């Protein structure tokens, strides 16, 4: 479930990755059991639900507080201001926890303000991701092959009526997603990622939201912060062919199709390449860069809620590489993707 928050609010809310928390109380479990019991045949297909959620990201304007929690108890929050007017989308995401930082987005131009570091980073995105990042363009037909959808009834989130649906995977290579979609606009107000046992790994929800805030108030919060006195770092992101960089795959992982291969660098630093894969809901990235003994000293794995990361020194005939695989998927999915990676020169 990748919101545009993958590069904005999600990165903002919990370091580099985050999303949701399980409500472990007996009351929460009882409520979820009731929702499951009310499950009915879907009134929309997987593709139709994803199309609705994607379109909802174009909601003319809203502002709210977005809270992300993980099963470990970690929590972070951000304030979001959003406006969509014709072909222009503006969004501001201000962290309310952790180090001060703000993300400002105008269409696919993203600026990350880090006031304590006196740095602002700019990057242009070409994937067309919008909030919520759960939905990928043209991902509905692919997701329908690997997920089923089930209606779980109705519920209220932040005072608004929602439809609750469950996207359930057909195999063990991906997680399930439970989504609360606002009835009128379709906007995703709450979502959970669940493992195979039904345990909630992560939860993201608006604690409060206004779907019709005064236009002048929204506009006031969508003025780009001043960059005076701040070092400007530009993140370049060029779409290239994997073969031109000497990378290929010797096999596939069911459902995870390549979405793009990018060469990235920050302010003239050493570049890395990123290979993005998606099944229409879940997204995985492989990052490859030359091995550096000073920076790459901790191979292994880590997790934050539903997001797992795998770091590995990856030798080949031409030299050593450092590979990092990250995604909201079970660890075995990352292992399979990295296992299919091969170096062909370049």
Instruction: Check whether residue 280 and residue 170 sit in a common domain.
Output: no
Q: Which residues touch 106 (CB under 8 Å, ≥6 apart)?
A: 88, 89, 90, 224
Give the per-residue pLDDT at 138. 54
Report how far residue 228's alpha carbon sits from residue 134's, in angstroms, rounded to the nearest whole number.
35
pLDDT score of 23 = 24
Residues 9 and 69 in one domain: yes
Supply the pLDDT for residue 298: 85
| Same structural domain, 122 and 203 | yes
Task: Give the count of domains, the chain.
Answer: 2
Please check whether residues 240 and 217 belong to one and the same domain: no
Tell me the residue range of the domain where 265 lies.
Answer: 236-343
- Which stretches of 176-315 are DSSP H helices? 215-221
- Residue 283 belongs to a domain: yes
Q: Mention every residue, 6+ apart, whose C-beta is less than 8 A from residue 66.
A: 9, 13, 77, 78, 79, 80, 93, 204, 205, 206, 207
- Neighbouring CB atoms inside 10 A of 41's CB total 7
Tokens describing residue 49: 């639900």
Q: Are 98 and 115 a contacting pair, CB within 8 Å?
A: no
Same domain assignment for residues 188 and 243 = no
CA distance 57 to 130: 6
Distance of alpha carbon 212 from alpha carbon 99, whole angstroms: 30
User: Do 44 and 159 reside in the same domain of the chain?
Assistant: yes
Beta bridge partners of 205: 67, 190
The enclosing H or E element of 29 equals helix 26-37
Do 281 and 134 share a structural domain? no
CATH number of the domain to which 17 belongs: 2.50.20.10
C-alpha closest to that of 305 among 192, 174, 198, 206: 192
- Please indicate, yes or no, if residue 314 is contained in any of the structural domains: yes
Residue 143 lies in a domain: yes
User: Is there a domain that residue 42 lies in?
Assistant: yes
Q: What Rg, from alpha-carbon coordinates, does the chain have?
A: 20
Of 177, 198, 221, which residue is a domain's last? 221
Domain-ending residue, one of 221, 245, 279: 221
Q: Are residues 126 and 201 in the same domain?
A: yes
In a domain, 228, yes or no: no
Tokens of 27: 């009351």
Kindly give the parts of the chain with pLDDT less than 70.
1-42, 126-140, 267-269, 317-318, 345-346
Residue 280: give its domain's CATH number: 3.30.200.100
128 lies in the same domain as 189:
yes
If residue 216 lies in a helix (H) or strand (E), which one and from where to where? helix 215-221
Assess whether 240 and 165 both reside in one domain.
no
What is the pLDDT at residue 55? 84
């Amino acid at each position: 479930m990748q919101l545009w928050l993958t590069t904005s609010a999600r990165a903002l809310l919990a370091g580099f990755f985050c999303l949701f928390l399980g409500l472990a109380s007996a009351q929460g479990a009882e409520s979820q059991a009731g929702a499951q019991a009310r499950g009915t045949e879907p009134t929309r297909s997987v593709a139709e639900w994803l199309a609705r959620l994607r379109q909802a990201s174009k909601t003319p304007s809203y502002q709210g507080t977005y809270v992300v929690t993980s099963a470990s108890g970690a929590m972070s929050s951000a304030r979001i201001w959003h406006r969509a007017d014709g072909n222009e989308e503006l969004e501001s995401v201000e962290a309310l926890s952790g180090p001060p930082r703000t993300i400002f987005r105008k269409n696919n131009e993203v600026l990350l303000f880090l006031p304590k570091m006196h740095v602002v980073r700019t990057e242009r995105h070409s994937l067309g991701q919008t909030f919520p990042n759960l939905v990928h363009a043209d991902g509905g037909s692919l997701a329908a092959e690997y997920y089923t959808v089930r209606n779980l009834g109705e519920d209220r989130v932040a005072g608004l009526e929602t439809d609750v649906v469950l996207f359930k995977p057909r195999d063990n290579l991906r997680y399930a997603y439970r989504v609360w979609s606002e009835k009128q606009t379709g906007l995703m107000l709450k979502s959970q990622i669940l493992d195979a046992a039904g345990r909630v790994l992560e939860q993201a929800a608006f604690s409060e939201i206004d779907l019709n805030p005064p236009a002048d108030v929204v506009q006031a919060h969508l003025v780009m912060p001043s960059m005076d006195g701040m070092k400007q770092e530009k993140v370049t992101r060029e779409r290239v062919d994997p073969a031109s960089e000497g990378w290929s795959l010797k096999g596939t992982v069911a459902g995870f199709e390549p979405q793009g291969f990018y060469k990235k660098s920050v302010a003239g630093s050493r570049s890395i390449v990123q290979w993005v894969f998606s099944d229409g809901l879940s997204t995985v990235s492989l990052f490859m860069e030359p091995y550096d003994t000073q920076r790459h000293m901790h191979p292994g794995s880590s997790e934050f809620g539903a997001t797992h990361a795998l770091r590995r020194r990856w030798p080949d005939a031409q030299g050593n590489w450092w590979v990092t695989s990250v995604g909201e998927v079970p660890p075995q999915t990352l292992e399979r993707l990295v296992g299919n990676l091969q170096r062909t020169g370049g």
